[in-house]
Structure 1
Amino acid sequence: MLRVHDWDRVWRTLPLIFLGVATLVAVSDSPAPPRDRAVTVALAAAAAAWHWWMVLAHPHWPERAPAPMAIYFAVFAVLAWVLFSRHPVYGLLVLACFPAAFATLPGWYAYLGVAATALIGVGGPSALLGVENSWSVTSALIGGALAAFIGWSIRALEAEVERRHAANRALESANQALENSNRALESANLRLARLGEENAELQGRLLAAARQTGVAGERGRLAREIHDTVAQGLAGIVTQLEAAEEAANDAEAVRRRLAVARSLARESLTEVRRSLDDLRPGPLAETRLPEALSELVSGWSAANELPATLTVTGTARLLHPEVEVVVYRAVQEALANVARHAEAGKTGVTLSYMEDVVVTDIRDDGVGFTPSETGRSETGDSGAGSGGFGLTAMRQRVVRLAGNVEVESAPGQGTAISVTIPAIPAAAERETP
């Protein structure tokens, strides 16, 4: 771990200071010949260069590269021992080895360096064998222990300081993050204020568009209702009157046709009134869908003198009123198209209650048509699937309930219409389209 404290830098510089002072004293005070003093200066220079290169020139090595630092301390300790043996003043350099051990050696290796320094202080390993130097040995051991304790205390203090610095850095980071969050919150508030202004303007536009859409939707609804009631009723009345005209010589047939026309006119009038009041179709007002379709199919069969059957599969259940209205109108429209265009001999209607959907199939054995031909399924030239506005209105009703309409037909092979609508239960709250 790289140390950055001022006292740590002092420790690393301290051996050079002690070495320089000891060398000045040794050179100026030594009675040795110039050659010996030159050797001493050379050894001191070597120690200074070695310490500078291994510690000061490479500050990242201490406590990060154990092997180079172990080599450094061993060589430096040997040089200190040699210089101490040449002149006692180099005891200062030996003393500087104590802090150098903690400044350069990692972990517990520092205590080995302290022990080695204490050994040098008593004159080397050979001094331990002399009984007459027992006091020096004891003093060295006490000094080494004291140096080890001081070094351990300083390292513990350094660890605590570093821990606090780390906590301060974390706190500063948290404060900076909080400031960034506050700035982001202020920016978000400004954006929300701008969005609120834009939403207010957009809401005004949407209200205007909703009013226009409502008008268009109401017009479409009235158009579909008029088609399903007045148009089909008038078409049925015209058909009965034409049949009565053709049977003018048969008074009974004429009376029967006129009675049917009168009944259709009354039913159409009732449906117009209900449509204007936006009520359910008359047959569904007081009865369930299967019974209403049964009356519709049997009445259509009697009016057009064509065989028609209704088949109900699955478990019949009460559905959302809008679902039943769409199913009823789809069957009504398909049967009207059969009567006008199909030239069919028989017609079948199937109402299938499934788990998630309700499916209605209307099939006839009439002349059929080609659905792929442009406009054939929308212009009304044959079959249950034709009928101009009728099929368009049917599709619109079904699609608004997330359903779909499929038409299958071919010339001479009849026509089949399949209407699939989600089986929304009567209890479901759903806004009426």
Structure 2
Amino acid sequence: MLRVRDWDRAWRTLLPVLLGVAALIAVADSSVPWRERAVTVALAAAVGVWHWWMVLAHPRWPERALVPMAVYFTVLTVLTWVLFSRHPAYGLLVLACFPTAFATLPGRYAYLGVAATAIVIVGGPLALLQAGDPWPIASALTGAVLAAFIGWSIRAMEAEVRRRHAANRALESANQALESANSRLAQLGEENAELQGRLLAAARQTGVAGERGRLAREIHDTVAQGLAGIVTQLEAAEEVANDAETVRRRLAVARKLARESLAEVRRSLDDLRPGPLAETKLPEALSELVSGWSAANELPATLTVTGTARLLHPEVEVALYRAVQEALANVARHAGAGKVGVTLSYMEDVVAADIRDDGVGFTPSQTGGGGFGLTAMRQRVVRLAGNVEVESAPGQGTAISVTVPAIPAAAGRR
């Protein structure tokens, strides 16, 4: 079908090509006054625009819509006759009308277009009636018959190509249906014997998927965050390459982040708990996180703790710590903020972490739920029956609120 469409496109493009050649020949003919040549060029331009609008700009019309194509070919025939009567070079345009009739007119109407083109060759209807010499008429008729035969042959070949393509598609569909049926029968024959194994594999896969999700969150919260911080410090150092003291300070921070990330990777192989929480309480760990982030990014950031701090279940503290860590990383990457405030609130039944910045903000409904970091944050919190809310608007900063149940620490912890 692709070749048939290519041929159709070629036939429809043939007319403007021959029209352009004829126009160049007519313009170059110095024996014709320039005003006459200008009028002829204007008529040729009208033919080109008419063909473009009716055929090239509306490819669905040819051979589908009789009325517009009949109007098109009638106007084309009249303009071709006028141009041919003004300059013989436009005989090329007349010849182009033969294949154009088959490329644009549907069904048997193409042969009427060929007949109309043949009349143009002999000089129009009046010339056909008044002609005394039969040879021009015979020549025109011969050309019309030959063009009609060629057009009929091309259409017959196109129809045969379409028929064969349809037959091939039907055969392929039948083969695919047969193969699908055979495959389904074989599958049904094996299902009873494999059912128990599939159930066990599904259970195992569920466990693997859960572990992969956990590892992905751990990697994002440790290696990815650390590498992002290192890249930020190196880019900042590159921007002030002439200031040796600032470069040294940036490199020192990058080195510190690299060591911390390496320690986190090693720790995460043995323990789910973030390193900062292994030896200290959550408020102190968050204070160190916020102050380190502020120094690394040279942005003022504060931590406020409300309520009575108390020991919580390790997963609760991990979720809150990672949420603040991810939110601060997003502020550094995207917010363009001038200051950041973190609030840790201990309430009777829940604990909340609120992170607010005065950055550029965004429209939450247009982010598709956020990136992997926000998704991991939600997954951690939802596992604990908690909630994550994001409030933001362009130019109004961003506020992230993470709330989890205040599950107490197990007896004997720390």
Partner of 2:385 in structure 1?
402
In the alignment, which of 359, 378, 400 is matched to residue 417 of structure 1? 400
The structure with the larger Rg is 1
3-state DSSP class of the match of 1:337?
Answer: helix
Q: Could you say which residue in structure 2 is the equivalent of 1:235? A: 228
Contact 1:320 1:428 (C-alpha < 8 Å) held by counterparts: no
CA contact (8 A) 1:371 1:409 kept: yes
Displacement of 1:372:
1.7
TM-score by length of 1: 0.49
TM, length-normalised to structure 2: 0.51
**Alpha-carbon distance in structure 2 between the residues aligned to 1:213 and 1:428:** 31
RMSD between aligned alpha carbons? Answer: 2.1
- Structure 1: gaps of 5 or more residues: 1-200, 379-387
- Aligned partner of residue 244 in structure 1, secondary structure: helix
The residue number in structure 2 matching 1:52 is: none
SS in 1 for 2:365: coil
The letter of the residue matching 1:398 is V
Change (3 A) 1:279 1:373: closer
1:259-318 CA-to-partner distances (Å, cap 9, x unmatched) read: 000000000011111112233111000000000000000000000000000000111000
The aligned counterpart of 2:259 is 266
Task: State the 4+ residue runs in structure 1 displaced beyond 4 angstroms.
Answer: 201-207
284, 293, 301: which is aligned to 1:300?
Answer: 293
The 1:319–1:202 alpha-carbon spacing in structure 2 relative to 1, beyond 3 Å, is: farther
Deviations 1:172-210 (A, max 9, x none): xxxxxxxxxxxxxxxxxxxxxxxxxxxxx9998765433
Measured in 2, the distance between the counterparts of 1:247 and 1:374 equals: 33
Cα distance in 1 for partners of 2:203, 2:267 equals: 25
**Given the alignment of the two structures, is residue 390 of structure 1 paired with residue 369 of structure 2, yes or no?**
no
In structure 1, what residue type is equivalent to 2:399? A
Q: Does residue 399 of structure 2 align to residue 427 of structure 1? A: no
Report the CA distance between 1:234 and its aligned residue: 0.7
Q: Is the partner of 2:364 in helix, strand or coil?
A: coil
CA distance in structure 2 between the partners assigned to 1:324 and 1:335 by the alignment:
17
- Give the number of equivalent residue pairs: 220
Cα distance change on mapping 1:368 and 1:203 into 2, 3 Å = same
Whole-angstrom distance in 1 between the partners of 2:248 and 2:359: 29
Give the letter aligned to residue 212 of structure 1. Answer: Q
Which of 183, 203, 209 in structure 1 is aligned with 2:202? Answer: 209
Q: Deviations over 1:77-103 (max 9, x none)?
A: xxxxxxxxxxxxxxxxxxxxxxxxxxx
1:54-93 correspondence runs (5 A): none
Structure 1: how far apart are the matches of 2:199 and 2:354? 39
Contact preservation (8 Å) 1:289, 1:324: yes
CA distance in 1, matches of 2:251, 2:225: 17
Cα deviation, 1:78-133, whole Å, max 9, x if unaligned, reads xxxxxxxxxxxxxxxxxxxxxxxxxxxxxxxxxxxxxxxxxxxxxxxxxxxxxxxx
Query: What letter is aligned with 1:409?
Result: S
Percent of aligned pairs sharing the same letter = 93
Measure how far apart 1:373 and its partner are.
Answer: 1.8
TM-superposed CA distance for 1:417, in Å, is 0.3
Is 1:319 aligned with 2:302?
Answer: no
CA distance in structure 1 between the aligned counterparts of 2:411 and 2:204, rounded to whole angstroms: 27
Aligned partner of residue 258 in structure 1, secondary structure: helix
Q: Which residue of the partner structure matches residue 286 of structure 1?
A: 279
Quote the Cα distance in structure 2 between the aligned partners of 1:374 and 1:415: 13
